Structure 1
Amino acid sequence: MYTDSHCHITEDRLYERIDEVLKNMHEVSNCMIMCTNETEFKRALALKETRPHFKIAFGWFPQDAKDITEKHIQILQKAIDSNQIDCLGEIGLDYYWDKSFINEQKELFIKQIQMANHANLPISIHMREATKDCLDILREHAKTKVIFHCFSGSKETMNECLKMGAYISFAGPITFKNNRQGVECATLCPLDKILTETDSPYLTPVPYRGKTNEPKYVEFTTKKICELKEIDVETLCAQISNNFQSLFKEA
């Protein structure tokens, strides 16, 4: 019944106990596995063989931009051409850790957007400490559906994202005490543009904050949105499921 639109279950920390993680997902009806390297991608393909309803996203992460070569681009293009991925991501800009290679990040971001445009694949956006540059690039280059993963911006930024027709995905931080900005955005975001995610194994929601996150905990983010919007769980889950499925339909 729940939707986890962004989880890293093929990352080592979760994949080493993948059977347990999958068993715990019995109430998660929609899931998109995010892959940021070849190993994670191959693991996701194997999982999809027995769980064809799982969606797979693959893309080169902005902080890896200085290490991405033409060979990496060809690997991603082959995955696209083989219809092995449902979404290109997570891609974007991240100036939080290291600002020494911003140009390389921008070049990689634009290249991957163009690849997604050509294949009519949605893109999942990572945007950290780079709001203006990220939005400017998307306005200029993006022609496909856009998801702002783990949205943490202001309501003003959210409104700019919504003007693009983008989806806003909320994760565990909206359950954190004193996260007024996240609560405000989740409250104001139109129902037909909301997605839920875990970003597991990161950003575990309350009441499990501090523990390793996994898809089953998307329940708590969903219920927080229900509380904020004064809506019942079944109605919200149905709407979010429709939003998620609409990403993969022809425009």
Structure 2
Amino acid sequence: MYTDSHAHITCDPLYERIDEVLENMDLVSRCMIMCTTLEEFHRAQKVKDRDPRFKVALGWFPSDAKTITSEDLKALYDLAAAKQIDCLGEIGLDYYWDTSFNDLQKELFIQQIEIANQTHLPISIHMRDSTKDCLEILKKHARTRIIFHCFSGSVETMKECLKMDSLISFAGPLTFKNARHAPDCVLACPIERILTETDSPYLTPVPYRGKQNEPKYVEYVAKKICELKGLDESLLCSQIESNFLSLFQ
């Protein structure tokens, strides 16, 4: 049984066929639904209510920093304090598309970390072209468990992340022929610190690259990790599920 620690199944492309997506998840034992809007969150709550395999995460995405208001932050805090969400995320920094509002991104990131600290929730981190700033902020502010979602950094960066008692989550790019750092990171990462994910509907793994991603395809990320590390698949999947559940104790 596989674990998908990061799936946007309540965003429009996948939610339009949510029943089919859920039916396809017969080999997935755990899944965390990632929500970046309140609409996605309310959809996710309905899914979670009907299926105990799910956890729900909510957070304001870094590229939305210009539009997030104090009311949005209060709404996030209230949901976190009421334990309506299981994880705060994905949050972080993204300097890939636009660096004109980096300071706003940092401010939003810190505010959300503080909400997670106060409500004792783990955080799921988006870190794109922003490693130095992201790690500096986490080292200074984070006092809760950390997931580095869809990790794509170097082994050296991963080792810095592991010092923060974090979990490293690998996604479809690990299976790509042009995968750069990910295979080396898998080899260097203890299995007690590994998670698998799809980031559905994005980053579909080989052999289904080019198709819309969904949680059932997390199987191929797990198989690639087993291939790289020479591990028994059932052993790895059991360990990953245990790693995932440790976030919510």
> What TM-score do the two structures reach when normalised by structure 1?
0.98
SS of the aligned residue for 1:143 comes to coil
Q: Which amino acid aligns with 1:183?
A: P
Residue by residue, what CA displacement relative to the aligned partner does 1:127-158 show, whole Å, maximum 9, x if unpaired?
00000000000000000000000000000000
Counterparts of 1:93 and 1:220, CA distance in 2: 28
TM-aligned CA deviation for residue 49 of structure 1 = 1.1
Counterparts of 2:180 and 2:74 in 1: how far apart (Å)?
Answer: 42
Structure 1: stretches of 5+ with no match in the other structure: none
**Counterpart in the other structure of 1:167:** 167
Q: Does 1:98 align with 2:98?
A: yes
User: 2-side partners of 1:166 and 1:158: how far apart?
Assistant: 10
Does residue 1:213 correspond to 2:223, yes or no? no
Amino acid aligned to 1:137:
I
Aligned equivalent of 1:150: 150
CA deviation after TM superposition for structure 1 residue 52, in Å: 2.7
Matches within 5 A, 1:62-101: 62-101=62-101
Identity %: 66
Residues 40-97 of structure 1: CA deviation (Å, up to 9, x unaligned):
0000011111113310000000000010001111111121122110000000000001
SS at 1:25's partner residue? coil
Q: Which residue of 1 aligns with 2:130?
A: 130
Letter in 2 for 1:102: N
What's the CA shift string for 1:194-231, capped at 9, x where partnerless? 00000000000000001100000000000000000000
Q: Letter of the 1:234 partner, please give it.
A: S
Partner of 2:177: 177
Query: What does residue 243 of structure 1 align with?
Result: 243
Matched, 1:10 2:20: no
TM-score by length of 2: 0.99
Distance in 2 between residues matched to 1:134 and 1:99, nearest whole Å:
14
1: CA distance, partners of 2:71 / 2:143: 25
Q: Partner residue of 1:28?
A: 28
Name the amino acid aligned to 2:18: I
SS of the residue aligned with 2:181? helix
Residue 180 of structure 1 deviates from its aligned partner by 3.2
Displacement after TM superposition at 1:162 (Å): 0.5
Root-mean-square deviation (CA, aligned residues, Å) is 0.6
CA distance in 2, matches of 1:180, 1:123: 26
1:180 and 1:100 map into 2 onto residues whose CA distance is 28
Moved over 6 A (4+): none
Q: In the TM superposition, what is the alpha-carbon distance from 1:178 to its structure 2 partner? A: 2.5
SS at match of 2:118: helix
Aligned-pair CA distance for 1:122? 0.2
Q: Aligned pair 1:193/2:193, yes or no?
A: yes
Please give the secondary structure, in 2, of the residue aligned with 1:93.
strand
**Worse overlay, 78-87 or 12-21:** 78-87
CA distance in 2, matches of 1:30, 1:186: 21
Q: 1:213 & 1:62 partners in 2: Cα distance?
A: 22
Shift of 1:165: 1.0
